[in-house]
Amino acid sequence: MKPFFIIAAAFLTIIILSSGLYTVDQAEQVFITEFGKPVGKSINSDPDKNEAGLHWKTPFIQKINRIEKRVLEWDGPPIGMTTRDKLYVTVDNFARWRITNPQLYYTKLNNERSALSRLDDIIGSETLSVIAAHDLIEVIRSDKDRKPARDEALSSANSNLGVLPPIQYGRATLDREILTAAQPIVREWGIELLDVRFKRINYKAGVIDKIYARMASERLQIADRFRSEGAGEAAKIIGRKQKDLLAIESGAYRTEQEIKGKADAEATGIYAAAYSSSPTAADFYQFMKTLETYQKTLDKDTTVILTSDSDLFGLFKHINKPATP
């Protein structure tokens, strides 16, 4: 009988030890319940039982509840909302959180699914309140001190095209506002909300069309201004070209007339010197000029009535004898 009792005692000891001993992993935290009720006021009432390693609990009566210790992710659904400047957008944000009081967390929420559902409500509600209190430009631009890039052509011109309105806060400040508003609420569930960030902000389909139309209108205004400036510069260049061309033509015409005048004067002087050198030369000059006059004024269809003593009719009557040299 003695070996039987030894075996039974050993078996009972194994059962008790397996029911009383438990291990805690580094990535988890635990709390103990008796008949479904937490033991102790909080997790900090017995921190040694939460350290990673092997621990002891009351066998059969107490139960180990394991809670995630690492930082958890919340990725809520996109929510449609309206900004202060009446633009309808869809906001998609995410957050990081962790369980700081497992016992309170278990009492209030029981599991991670319930926690995520409550975070959907709280963070979504605070996001809606913050977005409704600010203009869209505050949500899109990340930092109030960041200056947007602008085309140098627009900067050099005295124009307001392409200038974004100033902001007071920026997206980073709105993230902190949502975080600050949601933290006290989730703390009552044994949760610490570490960070909240915007992941994506989309326009609604109708708003996108309006934005594109406004962008196209702005680009057209810029293009029209450039065309107008180009046309003005072209007119100035053409005007300067016409002025320079007229000055060149006028100078060339004056030079031409001066050259012609000098040439005619020289030719006249040469002719005068040649034909006045002797009476024979003078008569020959008169004879040649009369023939040129006949050639230019008379043809087969010309009818001329002249008097007998006309100088033009003189060669038709007779040719004077050459003058004595």
How confident is the model over 19-76, as pLDDT tens digits?
Answer: 666 666 766 777 777 776 667 544 444 555 566 666 666 676 777 777 778 899 999 8
Give the Å distances, CA to CA, from 244 to 248, 255, 257: 6, 16, 20
Amino acid 168: pLDDT: 80
Length of the chain: 325
**How far, in Å, CA of 89 to CA of 72, rounded?**
27
Average pLDDT over residues 247-263: 90
Let me know: does 38 contact 101? Beta carbons within 8 Å: no
**How far, in Å, CA of 100 to CA of 122, rounded?**
18
H or E element in which residue 53 lies: strand 53-56
Amino acid 58: pLDDT: 63
Q: Residue 154 above 60 pLDDT? A: no
Domains of the chain: 2-68 (no CATH), 72-203 (3.30.479.30)
Amino acid 66: pLDDT: 73
Which 3 state secondary structure label does DSSP give 188? coil
H or E element in which residue 214 lies: helix 205-275
Amino acid 103: pLDDT: 82
Alpha helices, DSSP H only, in 57-170? 102-108, 112-132, 136-140, 152-156
How confident is the model over 108-150, as pLDDT tens digits?
Answer: 888 888 999 999 999 999 999 999 998 888 888 776 666 656 5
Amino acid 135: pLDDT: 86
What are the beta bridge partners of residue 295? Answer: none
How confident is the model over 198-244, as pLDDT tens digits?
Answer: 988 888 777 777 777 877 887 887 788 888 888 989 999 999 999 99
Amino acid 73: pLDDT: 92
Amino acid 240: pLDDT: 92
Least confident span in 77-81, 97-101, 297-301, 311-315: 311-315
